[in-house]
Amino acid sequence: MSNTPLRKGGPAARIAVLPGDGIGREVTPESIKVLRAAVKRPMDFVDLDWGADKFLREGVSLPPGAVEMLRDEFDAILFGALGDPRVPSNQHAADILLGLRFKLDLYVNARPVELLHDRLTPLSGRTERDIRIMVFRENTEGLYVGVGGIFKKGTPDEIALQEDLNTRKGVERIIRHAFAYARQHRLKRLCMSDKSNAMTFAHDLWQRVFKEVRQEYTDVDSRHLYIDTLAMEIVRDPSQFDVIVTCNLFGDIISDLGAQLGGGLGLAPSGNIHPGATSLFEPVHGSAPNIAGKGIANPLGSVLTSGMMLDFLGWPQEAALLKEAVRAALRENKVTPDLGGNLKTTEVGDWLAQYVSKNS
C-alpha cells in the first residue's frame, strides 16, 4: 500500500464519510469515534448521504460532479455498505460503488486475511501465526467490466456473453503493486494465481507479465498456482502464503474464503486503492438488512478498515493502535453477539475509543 501522504486540503487529511445503507450506518460512526480518539493529527470528516434513502427520495445515486469532487478535494473515502431491500435492483449500489471503483481507477483491491484471535478460525489447530496473508485483487478489469450481451433472450436459443477484459497495463500494475508491497513489508513469499491452463488467452497475459516482473524482484520468493490449487492449499496450510495476487473474479472469491479463515465477515477489512490518489476503504461485509437497526452489527471490520486508511494516509503508528485495540477487544470478549459477546455496536465502539485514548 502506498505511504504517500496526500493532503488535498492543506495540513488536515480530508476524509469523505459515506455510511450508505443498513449496518453501514451503524458501524461507520463507531469507526469515526475510534479514529477521533486515536489520531491526534488534523482530520476533517465530511458526511455524504448517498445511499438508498436518497436514491428513493430524489432518484440520485452518484450525484453529478461527485467523482471530481472526491478526486480533487479528498484524500480518502471511508465507506460503510450499500444495499437495501427497497431497491431490489441494487441500482444505487452499483452506480456508487462500481462507479467510484472504475472512475477513480481504484485498481488495487487490498484484502488482508489476518487471524487476530486463535478461537476465531474454523481451521483446527491453526493459530494467529499461521494466518496472515495480503490478498491483492485486480479491481478494474476482468469479468466485472460489464462488457457482453444477451441474444435471443428468453428463448431456447438464448446466448449470453460476458467478456473477460485484461489489459497489459492493468495486469502489470497490480502484479507490480503486489511485488512492491512484499518488498516494502519484507514479506518473502508471493503467489500469483490464475487459470492459464484453461483461460489460454487472458491468463497467458498474466503468465507473461508475472514472469517479466518477478525478474525485478529476485529478493521475493514468487511462485504460481492455478486458482483451484490455491483454493485447496489456502485451506490445507494458510501459513505458506504471505502475499497473493490475482484477477478480479478469483480475488473476489479467494478473499471471501480468506475472510472466513480470519474470523468471518464482521471482521474483514478492505481497501480500494489507487496509490497516490483518492482511495476508498470499506469493510468486506454488506449492509446486512437482516440485522440492520438492531444495534448488534459488529463494528470491528469497519475499525480495521479505518486502520488500513490510516496506513494509506502515512500514519502507520495510529493504524497499528487500531489493530491492537481490536485484538484487545477480542481477547477480553468486548464484542458483539456474532463473535460470542453481548455488547451492542455502540458499546464496542466506546470500549475501543477508551482503549486507544489510554494507549495513544
User: Using CB under 6 A as the criterion, which residues of the chain lie in contact with ligand ATP when the complex forms?
Assistant: 23, 27, 81, 83, 265-266, 285-291, 297-298, 301, 338
Q: How far apart are CA 340 and CA 334, in angstroms?
A: 9
Note if 47 is an active site residue: no
Q: Grid coordinates in use for 79?
A: 465507506
Smallest separation, CB 327 to ligand ATP (Å): 17
Q: What's the first-to-final CA gap in the chain, in angstroms?
A: 23
List C-alpha distances in Å: 103 to 99, 201, 218, 352: 6, 27, 34, 34
CB of residue 301 vs ligand ATP: minimum separation in angstroms? 5
Residue labelled with grid coordinates 452489527? 297
**Whether 294 is catalytic:** no
Residue 242: CB atoms within 10 Å? 19
| Closest chain position to ligand ATP (CB) | 286
Please name which of 301, 304, 96, 36 lies closest in space to residue 15, comparing C-alpha atoms.
36
In the set 21, 164, 252, 338, the catalytic residue is: 252
Q: How many CA atoms lie within 13 A of 322 on its CB side?
A: 31
Q: How far is the CB of 17 from ligand ATP (least distance, A)?
A: 17
Minimal distance, residue 336 CB to ligand ATP, in Å:
6
Nearer to ligand ATP, 99 or 316 (CB): 99
Residue with smaller CB distance to ligand ATP, 271 or 341: 341
Pick the closer one to ligand ATP by CB: 166 or 287: 287
204 noted as active-site residue: no
Cβ proximity to ligand ATP: between 138 and 338 the closer is 338
Determine contact, residues 28/50, Cβ cutoff 8 Å.
no
256 tagged catalytic = yes
CB of 93 to ligand ATP, least distance (A): 7
The catalytic position among 153, 228, 237, 294 is: 228
Q: Given the complex with ligand ATP, which of 23 and 110 has the nearer CB atom?
A: 23
Quote the CA–CA distance of 11 and 252 in Å, as a whole number. 36
- Is 355 among the catalytic positions? no
Neighbour tally for 28: CB within 10 Å: 25
Catalytic residues: 144, 195, 228, 252, 256
